[in-house]
Structures are given as structure tokens and as C-alpha cells.
Amino acid sequence: MKRLQLLVAIAGLALIVTACGGSTASTEPSGKPAGWLDAVGEGEGALNLIIWEGYAERGAVDPAYDWVTPFETATGCKVSTTSMTDSANGVQLLQSGEYDGGSFSGDASVRLMKAGDVAPVNVSLLSNYANVFSGLKDKAHNSLDGVPYGVPHGRGANVLMWNSDVVTTPPTSWDPVWEGGSAYKGKISVYDSSIYIADAAIHLMATQPALGITDPYQLNDAQFAAAIALLEAQRDNGAVYWGTAADQITSFASGDLVVGTTWQYQANMLASEPKVKIATTLPAEGSTGWSDTWMMATKAKHPNCMYLWMDHMMSAQANGQATVWFGEAPTSQAACDYAETISPGHCEQFHATDEAYFEKVWYWSTPQADCADADAATSCKDQDAWVEAWTTLRGN
Amino acid sequence: MTLIRRLVQWFSRRPRAALSAQLAGPFGWILLIYLGSLFVLLLHAFWVKDSFTGKVEPFVWTLEAFGQVLGNPVYLTIALRTILIATLVTLTDALLALPIAYYMSRVASPRTRAILLVGITMPLWASYLVKVYAWRTILQGNGLLSWLLGPLGIDGPGLSEIWSTWLVLSYLWLPYMILPIFAGLERIPNSLLEASVDLGGSAGMTFRRVILPQLLPALAAGSIFTFSLSLGDYIVPDLVSDAKFIGNVIYDNSALGNFPVAAAFSILPVVIMLIYLLLARRAGAFESL
């Protein structure tokens, strides 16, 4: 009996170990990259997406904002979504192999492209791609060697949000969450992700130019240490960290928190809250931000549905609705025109064509050991170091 | 038909083989699916990870993840915080459960006892998440708790203090402490208590010298639930406070693609629970589960 059990155990483990040893191929025998489509066929009936909260609405919150149901009716692809908490979480979700694709920011998209987790997109199959602003095509965060790996969803900046009953003078800089934070002890709201270290770096670019920060995502040891010191001071001012948009919305709605960093989405949700008065701004130092891309997983089980979805999300109606709902800039003039019909002044408010505005916005990107430049002499803190520093900051 | 008959005959002559065949299913499940997946998880702790793509390189061995966990004191702080809260939750639940269970088994009429039993198990029917979110609305600013404490001039713990975690975990796991203690008390014969009183023992002495020693296995059994459930929880700390527990660090690291560090750190609660279970076995907990 004992020997039998042992044998079963060993056989079982051997099975597991061999099953784990499989490797991925980057190209198919035909010479085409993995996941490449030559034609969009009939939808497969289902689509599993990783999204940012608010990126796929089916009218559940406000019946006027529904761009999923029309898609399902037209294509027969039933949409299921999972919200990511931050970009690293999105990468992990996609690598699980359960999803057809998702809406990724720059700090996830580049990693996914380089790892071969997402497939290059045959944009000639997407009729709405031609309408997209040229300023959003062929960028480092959505293309590799000139080949697009996805289509844009929208872009925007992380903004400063405050409760104007408590913060009576409208702030113009990030000071209330950093040095001026002692005035709002225990009422500061901060994004709970290692990428937030870049927000500290952006503030340092303005307040401590001697550090010589040129890119808030590529920091050397001294610059990184200064950013962490700033974050520690913020934490000791009683910062409260939000993991999901819903989390932050409840805290502001109840008046627990009064100032902090947010996506425009939360401010839009709070606009209907009668008890609190919420305002936002893009502070003078600039800010972190995102330019999101719909990408298809190399191992997508429903590639036709994914192509149909990518095309749908560039259509005037879907993109107009989605960007008004979340509070970000649409990706085409047609979408802008549609957005104006539901929210007049939308494209001007979110600077859809204002490249000068977006020059103040540092899109989320991945911290790299080589500082993401060609200079071999420089070295920077990589993604792992950022994550570990964040664990240390939050764990103590 | 003949094949089946021959098979039956073959097995009937070999009782050991019959037993092995019957147990092969459940044992295979536990070995392959249950322990197997745990084993693969532990293997990850020794594998290399690509910092940029976040992919784990299987069968490339390193102790880097352990170095990272041991080299940074924050992981120790987090472990101690988790153990402290799990211990406090266990003590709180034991203190609350003792009088309730005593009342149920010795004082209450059968009718009251039935009502209490239903009342205690009822919350277990509701989803864990619903209960945690209910606590969020109780704890948040302008919530029920601050409304109650307001006139006394006390501020509620809000949703950022670690004490909220203690409060909510104590609430969640209380039934798991009451039920074993109730069962344990039921097993103590009334004659023992009567004898103690007859011999002049005060209520306190009867409790300390007669009830408590006999109740120890039940207490240990209940504490296994409250301690291990608190030790492994990561949703409550995330939703009602800002504190990081062992589970949060494991979750964060696996969600952030640093699987080796998550795997290395997850060995710690396994070790803690093994030690705890050994101690609980000494106290006779497994006989009263």
C-alpha cells in the first residue's frame, strides 16, 4: 500500500512537471506572426475582455450609455469583462490565457508586445481605423517596428480631485497631496500602485530640478530615493490608498477623503452625488496619464469577435459614448462630433486635438533597468524594484 | 458480463486490492490536484522571472525570491502584523463565544437554544463579500458607527485603521468559535459541575478547574478556524482598512507578475499553520472537530 501511494505520487508529479514545461512559439509555420488575421470571419459568439472599469458599459448605470449591447446584437459576440486594478494586474490576467484581449495602458502594452502575448493587428481589416487621429497611430506604446499591435481607445491625464467644501481655494499644483498635505491629514487619496512613484517624480521635476529627472518612469538611484522619501512623507500624512475606482468614489462621497489623485471617471460619477461638491484640474507640473490601446491576445479563442470589437470601439458612436462616460479624449473627429451631441464641449474639455496639452502628460510606461535609452552608461530602477519599493512603502 | 463477474471474483479474493481500487479516486485527487498544485506553487519560488515581461522561466533555479523576502524587513513587519491580528481575533472570538455557548448549553430553554443556533449560523448563509461591504457602510465616515459614537465624542476607526480589520474578522469568524465550544460544553456532564459546587467550589473555581480543562480541545478546535481564516484573509484588510497582510502581499505580487516572490512568501503561512496544527493536536483539538 505504501509503495503504491508513493508510485502514484511520483507519477502525478512527473505529469504535472511535464505539462508545465511547454514553450510558446512566436511564429506559425506559414511565416505569418502568431495571431495574424487575413480576413475577419463570422463572430465566434463570445468575447472575454480585460478592461479598465467603465470601458465596456451596457447601460447598467445609465441607460443612455450602452455600447456593448448594440455590439452584441450586431455581431452575436457575447461580451464578458474583468476589470484590472492596475496595469501589472492586466498583464498577469492576459498571461493567464483566459482572455481574448483588453484595453492596455503604455506600462502594460509594451511589455505585452515584447513578450509576444499580444498579436500584431491587420488594420486593413478595420474600416474605422482610417478615421483615427494620426497623432495616435504608430506610437511606441501601440506599435512595434512600425507594425500596429492594437487600436486606440482614448487618452487622458490623471487629475487632482478635491472636495470644494473643504479645499476652498482651487489648487493649481499637486502641493496639497505632497508638501501641503499636512493640512489634510488622513484625508488624502492616493492610487495604490507602484506606478504612482512616477507622480512623485513629476512633482520633483518641478520642485527639485537639481535631481535632473527627465523621464518620471526612468529614475536612477538618487532620483528614486528622493521620490520614495516624498511618498513616505505623504504616507505619514495619513494618505489613504484606493485600489479600485469604486473604492475612491465611496470615500469621497462620504466625505472621508477630500483631496487626491484620480481619473476623470470618478469625478464624473461623483457629479451626481448631492452631498459633496467635487472639482478637478490638471496641475501646473503636469501629470501621469494614459493612452489606452485595445489589443488582441496571441492565443485569443475568439479572434473574429476581437477584431469586430476593435473596429466597434473606433466607431463614432461607441468611442464617443465611451470617452464621454469615462472622461477622456476621443480618438477620431467623427467620435468627437458624436461626443458633442451627448456632452457639448467634450472634445475641448478633454483636449482631443490639443497636442500641447498632452505634452504635459507622461503616459504610463514601464520602468526599465537600461532607462529605456541607448546610453549604456546610465542605469535605472526596473519594474521589480518599483514594485518592491511600493510593497515596502505600503507594508510598514 | 463474464468479464465483470471475473473482475468481482478477482477482487473478492484480494481485499487489499479492492481497498486500493476504491481509494484510488479520492487519493489520486488529493495527491494530484490538491497537493500537486501546491507543489507547483512552491516550485515557482525557486524559478527565475524576467523583470520586463513578467514571465517566469521554469526549471531555471535560483534562490533570488527568498533573498528578496528575507532581505527586506518589511516582510517580517507584515508577517508579525498578520499574526498579531489573527491572535487578537482568536482571543476576541473566544471571549465572546464562551458566555454565548455557555448560555446556550446550560441556561437556555430548548426553544431559545434553537433560536440562538439558527441566529448564529444564519450569517453563514450570506455571502462573505456582502457582509464585508455591509461593514464598510457601518465603518465609513457618516456611517452607522460614527453616528453612534459621535455624541460620545469618539471617532470611529474609519476605513483606514487596522482596528477595522480586527473588528470585521472577529465578526466573520465568530460562529466558527461558538459552535465547537457549544459542542464541547454539551459533552461535559452536569454531575461534574454539581460535584464541584457540592465540594464548595465557587463559580470562578468551577470554571477554571472543571470546565476550562475539559473545554480546551474545543477551544483549540475553534481557534484553528479563527486563526487560520484570519491569517489567510486578504479581502477584509483590503476593503475595510489600508493595512497589508500576508495574503495581500502574496496577492499583490502574483497580480504584479512577481510569482516567485509570492510563492516564497506563501511558504510562511504554511509553516505557521503547520506549527499551529501540531500544537492544537497536542491540545486534543482533532478529537473535538
Domains belonging to chain B, first-starting first, are 74-288 (1.10.3720.10)
- Band the pLDDT of A2: cuts 50, 70, 90: very low
A396–B74 C-beta distance less than 8 A: yes
**pLDDT beyond 90 at A220:** yes
pTM of the model: 0.78
Q: Is A314 exposed, middle or buried (0-12, 13-18, 19+ CB in 10 A)?
A: buried
**pLDDT beyond 60 at A26:** no
Does residue A235 belong to the interface with chain B, where contact is any CB pair within 8 Å? no
The partner residue sitting opposite B53, judged by closest CB among A111, A186, A250, is A111
The confidence score (pLDDT) of residue B289 equals 62
Cβ proximity of A308 and A75 under 8 Å: yes
**pLDDT beyond 50 at A372:** yes
Does residue A383 belong to the interface with chain B, where contact is any CB pair within 8 Å? yes
The confidence score (pLDDT) of residue A373 equals 79
A251–B142 C-beta distance less than 8 A: no
Chain B CA closest to residue A192? B242
B53–A114 C-beta distance less than 8 A: yes
The confidence score (pLDDT) of residue A8 equals 47
**pLDDT beyond 80 at B141:** no
Neighbouring C-beta atoms of residue A380, cutoff 10 Å: 21
The confidence score (pLDDT) of residue A12 equals 47
B31–A382 C-beta distance less than 8 A: no
A92–B256 C-beta distance less than 8 A: yes
Report the range of poorest mean pLDDT among A155-164, A354-363, B51-60, B172-181. Answer: B51-60
Report the range of poorest mean pLDDT among A150-164, A295-309, B95-109, B130-144. Answer: B130-144
Does residue A7 belong to the interface with chain B, where contact is any CB pair within 8 Å? no
As a whole-number percent, the residues of chain B with pLDDT over 70 amount to: 98
How confident is the model over B75-93, as pLDDT tens digits? 999 999 999 999 999 999 9
Tally of CA atoms within 13 A in the half-sphere of A330 that contains its CB: 30
Query: Mean pLDDT: which of A172-176, B22-26, B199-203 is highest?
Result: A172-176
The confidence score (pLDDT) of residue B257 equals 67
Q: Enumerate residues 127 to 186 of chain A having a beta carbon within 8 A of any beta carbon in chain B.
A: 186
Q: Which domains does chain A have, with CATH numbers?
A: 46-154+291-353 (3.40.190.10), 159-262+366-395 (3.40.190.10)
The confidence score (pLDDT) of residue B137 equals 87
As a whole-number percent, the residues of chain A with pLDDT over 70 amount to: 92
What ipTM describes this predicted complex?
0.74
